[in-house]
Each structure stands twice: as C-alpha cells, then as structure tokens.
Amino acid sequence: MAMVFPELFAKMSCNNAKISKVLLDKYKHLINFVKNPSILEYGFAGGENSEYSLRPLLPHDYKEFIAVDISEPMVEHARKNAKIPRSKFYCLDTSSPDLPEMFQNRFDNVFSFMTIHLIKDPRQTFTNTFRMLKDGGETFQTFYKHTPCDEVFVKLSQHPKWGKEKYNQTKMLHPYYDKPEPKEYITADLKVAGFKKIEYMEEKMSYNFENEEQLKGLYLSVNTTLPHIPAEDLEEYKKEYLREVRSMYTVCEPVNQPNHLVLPVELTVVWAKKE
C-alpha cells in the first residue's frame, strides 16, 4: 500500500520513530552484523524513522544501505532528505512475486519497521525477504499486531456512501485483521517463506499525540482512500473519517504529559535467520 502524502507523513510520524527506537533498544541483542554488511530496509518511507532509531545501531563499516519503498513519492522524498551514509534508494514492491535479480541473495540484514501491517500479502513479502538475504543473513521487523484504525475502516466500508466498492475501504485493513491472535499465522508464513529460526515477541505500548492536529495529520497521511474521493465530497469524508479516529483516543492527564491523546496499541516484533 503506497503512501500518497510523503511530506505530511514524514512530519507526523514521530510516534512510529519513538516506538521503533524502544523496540530496537530492547531487542538489539538479537541483531548480529557481520564485517562490512550489506543492509536493506523496506518500507523506508522518508527515512525519518531510520535516522532516529536504526542508524545509531549500524556498524561503522557497513558496505551499503539500500532503502526501498513501494511509493515513488516517498522514494523521491527520501532521496532528497535522508542522510544515512552509503545509501541508495529504489522503488520496490516487496509483495510482488517478481523480485528483481539485483536484490536477490545480496543482503546480510533486512530491516522493516511498521510496514507489514500495510501489506496485503505478508507471506510473499516474507518470501522475498528470505530471497534477499544471503545464507546466514537475518531480518528484524516490527509491525502492529492489529492496526489501530482497523475498526474505523470496517465502519466506513459499511457506510452507505463511503462503503462503495470503488473506495475500497477494506484495503486499509491489517492483513491479519480477522485473526484475533495472529502469532501462529505469522510464524507459519515465515516458515513457508523458508525461515526455520524465528523469534516472535509482542509488546504493549501506546500511541501518544500532543494535540488534535498531530493526530489528524498522521491519520490523513496514511489514508490511501483520500485521492479516490470526489473533490466535492472530500471534506465530508475527512470529517467522518477523523470523527471515527478521534473516538478511539482518550485524553490522558499524566503529570509529564497533560492533555495528551493516548491509545494503547500492541506491537509485533519478529527476528528470523536464513540458514
């Protein structure tokens, strides 16, 4: 699923970066780097997440850092703004069975943060991850156990106006949306992809926004339905969509974060090795 508002997403995605850093710091003991590793990250988006969370963990002697994303606007944004040394940027659909030869058997480490929940065919993406890795290579990935706005898109898919097939609201749903406990399905897909050594973890965290504008900005930036809504209906749709999103959040009053909008979320962390 390609993001269509790269600048807005980059500006509003600080929650993703903070969550990724916490998870990387907790599970970095699982990550191994060989000498002069070739590294790939898919779902790179604009690179803000990686600059904050992954780059501090990269070994100084890495050979190359290849960043890929399905969205051409995102790739262009990354080319102009990302500052990771020895990096190259490509547009790539990791869920396509036709993986270009240049990506095959090339990488020692494949990373992905907050991406699998946006991909309709995670098994194919796991398969391509396996194909991209060298023997002995490993992958570290994080994603939502269930996407925070799944229920919003279910409601919109049933709406008399916005639920029309041409708007395809259900394309935004988590690929394991209908699996209350997706662990066995995720690990099964990883095994089908070829991985035998797998670590699977779940973490309870929270999405935290300082104000309404931050919340609105992020959720508008990830809604790929927006470009397909007629101009005369767009404001009405956005109002309905954001009303449903806002209803998920409660105002929290912690001492150090007054009036923040907070939503509990569950994250999945996967590490796997190609043997």
Spans of all domains in the chain: 6-147+173-208+263-273
Residue 97 confidence (pLDDT)? 97
| Tens digits of residue pLDDT in 150-176 | 999 999 999 999 998 888 888 889 999
Residue 254 confidence (pLDDT)? 53
* 138 has pLDDT over 90: yes
Residue 17 confidence (pLDDT)? 86
Greatest mean pLDDT among 56-70, 167-181, 201-215, 227-241 lies in 56-70
Fold of 6-147+173-208+263-273: Rossmann fold (3.40.50)
Write down how long the chain is. Answer: 275
Q: What does pTM read for this prediction?
A: 0.91
Model confidence at 41, in pLDDT bands (50, 70, 90)? very high
Greatest mean pLDDT among 145-149, 194-198, 260-264 lies in 194-198
| Averaged pLDDT for residues 109-124 | 96
Residue 6 confidence (pLDDT)? 56
Share of the chain above pLDDT 90, in %: 69
Residue pair 157/151 in contact by the 8 Å Cβ criterion:
no
